[in-house]
């Protein structure tokens, strides 16, 4: 049986019958992601992506190799008509149905909590609306994840949806060639694998992913916004910059990305300080990584408050302090022999995170 899952945003508890319940304030997105990882840890043979969650039962699947329950590969190619495959598919369908039920129930709760026609106060409406959209995104992933994979795979290959043609061009050679390219399972398979590696692809591919997803509009954008964005992305391929994505004129010398990376540096310093490091030492370490003096780093807080807003800076630094406190508690629980599962609260402030932020900062500085 899977244990209760503790995340930074709440708890997903096992009710003893194989179902999981959301605790108060739990983020569905974080909880579901955590549960997916745990499912693969405890039931490796039920890979929720490769066993068919998010795709119809009759959608063809490519043969796959299933690991054993202890994680070792059995080296057996599993086809859809094998006993093991059908069992994995059945378990995957049960998990998928439970997930869908949880997500739909949560959407109903969010709508009922802030309905304008029921005389309910609007306090918390903005957060509820955002949470509903996030849950809806998880629902789309659950029921049409295979289609998202296909769009990603198309983008990686430099392709997009090929629209149906009128009678006069149904047999056009170019159309037939494009049709044969996009009607291929390999795009879904490639998209499934590339989903976790999208950070490594170039910006043109990311833009193509965005373009492909906008065509289907699974996010239910207003039609006019959808059309404007599709047009703007198409125009970029010809070197034209349309107003919807044109930068706003400003007199600021430090641009957005540079300010964000400076704020990241301040947050890492704050995390270190509240993890019992002397402030001057933390500033020295971060400044050295960024390639600036400690005096320069100390001037950033005042300026980023002006550029990004006092609330945004205070919020970011507060999150860093909270992460440090939570990391301390997690370590205490670990050393005390607790079997609770804790998120890695300090991951965003780790040495690896500092190196990535420092490298990005230097690259941005070279661009300006």
* Rounded CA separation 13/299 (Å): 45
* CA angle at 356 for the pair 351 and 360, rounded to the nearest 5°: 145
Same domain, 11 and 97: yes
Q: What CA–CA distance (Å, rounded) separates 122 from 126?
A: 8
The residue out of 221, 246, 271 marking a domain boundary is: 246
Do 327 and 304 share a structural domain?
yes
- Domain boundary residue, one of 131, 146, 161: 146
Instruction: Please give the pLDDT value at position 49.
Output: 41
The pLDDT value recorded for residue 333 is 76
Question: Which of residues 146, 177, 193 is at a domain's end?
Answer: 146
Q: Based on the domain organization, do 130 and 39 belong to the same domain?
A: yes
Would you say 10 and 35 are in contact if contact means Cβ atoms under 8 Å apart?
A: no
Q: What is the pLDDT of residue 296?
A: 96
Of the candidates 24, 133, 34, the one whose C-alpha atom is nearest the C-alpha of residue 10 is 24
Does 142 lie in the same domain as 11? yes
Tell me, yes or no, whether 155 lies in a domain.
no
Q: Are 16 and 134 in a shared domain? A: yes
Q: For each of the chain's 368 residues, which pLDDT tens digit applies?
A: 344 444 333 444 444 444 444 444 444 444 555 455 444 433 333 344 444 444 444 444 443 333 332 333 333 333 333 344 444 444 578 888 899 999 999 999 999 999 888 888 899 999 999 999 999 999 999 999 999 999 999 999 999 999 999 999 999 999 999 999 999 999 999 888 766 566 678 889 999 999 999 999 988 999 999 999 999 999 999 999 999 999 888 888 889 999 999 999 999 999 999 999 999 999 999 999 999 999 999 999 999 999 999 999 999 999 999 999 998 888 887 776 655 545 577 889 999 999 999 999 999 999 87
15, 17, 18, 24: CA torsion to nearest 10: -20
Same domain flag for 30 and 128: yes
Bridge pairing between strands 10-14 and 5-7: antiparallel
3-state secondary structure the chain: CCCCEEECCEEEEECCCCCEEECCCCCHHHHHHHHHHHHHHHCCCCCCCCCCCCCCCCCCCCCEEEECCCCCEEEEEECCCCHHHHHHHHHHHHHHHHHHHHHHHHHHHHHHHCCHHHCCCCCCHHHHHHHHHHHHHHHHHHHHHHHHHHHHHHHHCCCCCCCCCCHHHCCCHHHHHHHHHHCCHHHHHHHHHHHHHHHHCCHHHHHHHHHHHHHHCCCCCCHHHHHHHHHHHHHHCCCCCCHHHCCCCCCCCCCHHHHHHHHHHHHHHHHHHCCCCCHHHHHHHHHHHHCCCHHHHHHHHHHHHHHHCHHHHHHHHHHHHHHHHHHHHHHHHHHCCCCCCCCCCCHHHCHHHHHHHHHHHHHHHHHC
Same structural domain, 235 and 263: no
Q: What is the pairing mode between strands 73-78 and 64-67?
A: antiparallel
63 close to 77: Cβ distance less than 8 angstroms: yes
Do both 231 and 342 map to the same domain? no
Q: How many domains does the chain have?
A: 3
CA distance 42 to 104: 26
Residues 6+ apart with CB under 8 A from 306: none
Same domain (yes/no): 27, 81? yes
Which residues form the domain of 309? Answer: 256-367
pLDDT score at 338 = 58
**What pLDDT is attached to residue 199?**
66
Residues 215 and 130 in one domain: no
Q: Does residue 348 share a domain with residue 217?
A: no
For residue 247, give both structure tokens. Answer: 């930068």
CA 262, 264, 266, 268 dihedral sign is: negative
Interior angle at CA 226, CA 223 and CA 231, nearest 5: 125
Rounded distance between C-alpha atoms, residue 141 and residue 135, angstroms: 10
Please indicate, yes or no, whether residues 136 and 220 belong to a single structural domain of this protein. no
């Amino acid at each position: 049986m899977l244990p209760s899952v503790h995340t930074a945003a709440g708890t997903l508890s096992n009710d003893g019958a194989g179902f999981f319940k959301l605790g108060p304030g739990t983020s569905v997105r974080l909880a579901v992601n955590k549960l997916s990882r745990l499912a693969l840890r405890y039931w490796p043979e039920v890979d929720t992506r490769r066993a068919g969650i998010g795709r119809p039962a009759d959608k063809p699947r490519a043969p796959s190799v299933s690991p054993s329950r202890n994680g070792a590969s059995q080296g057996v190619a599993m086809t859809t008509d094998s006993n093991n495959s059908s069992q994995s598919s059945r378990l995957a369908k049960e998990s998928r149905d439970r997930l869908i039920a949880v997500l739909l129930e949560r959407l109903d709760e969010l709508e009922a909590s802030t309905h304008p026609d029921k005389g309910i106060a609007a306090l918390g409406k903005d957060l509820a609306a955002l949470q509903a959209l996030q849950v809806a995104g998880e629902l789309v992933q659950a029921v049409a994840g295979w289609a998202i994979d296909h769009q990603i795979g198309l983008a990686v290959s430099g392709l997009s949806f090929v629209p149906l043609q009128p009678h006069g061009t149904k047999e056009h050679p170019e159309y037939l060639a494009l049709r044969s390219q996009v009607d291929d399972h390999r795009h879904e398979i490639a998209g499934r694998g590339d989903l976790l590696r999208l950070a490594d692809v170039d910006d043109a591919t990311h833009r193509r992913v965005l373009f492909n997803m906008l065509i289907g509009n699974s996010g239910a954008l207003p039609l006019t916004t959808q059309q404007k964005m599709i047009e703007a992305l198409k125009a970029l391929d010809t070197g034209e910059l349309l107003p919807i994505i044109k930068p706003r004129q400003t007199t600021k010398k430090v641009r957005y990305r540079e300010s964000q990376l400076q704020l990241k540096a301040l947050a890492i310093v704050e995390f270190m300080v509240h993890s019992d490091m002397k402030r001057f030492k933390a500033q020295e370490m971060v400044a050295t990584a960024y390639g600036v003096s400690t005096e320069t780093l100390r001037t950033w807080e005042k300026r980023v408050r002006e550029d990004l807003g006092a609330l945004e800076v205070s919020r970011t630094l507060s999150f860093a302090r909270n992460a440090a406190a939570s990391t301390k508690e997690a370590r205490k629980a670990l050393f005390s022999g607790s079997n609770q599962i804790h998120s890695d609260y300090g991951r965003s402030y780790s040495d690896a995170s500092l190196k990535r932020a420092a490298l990005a900062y230097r690259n941005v500085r070279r661009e300006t």
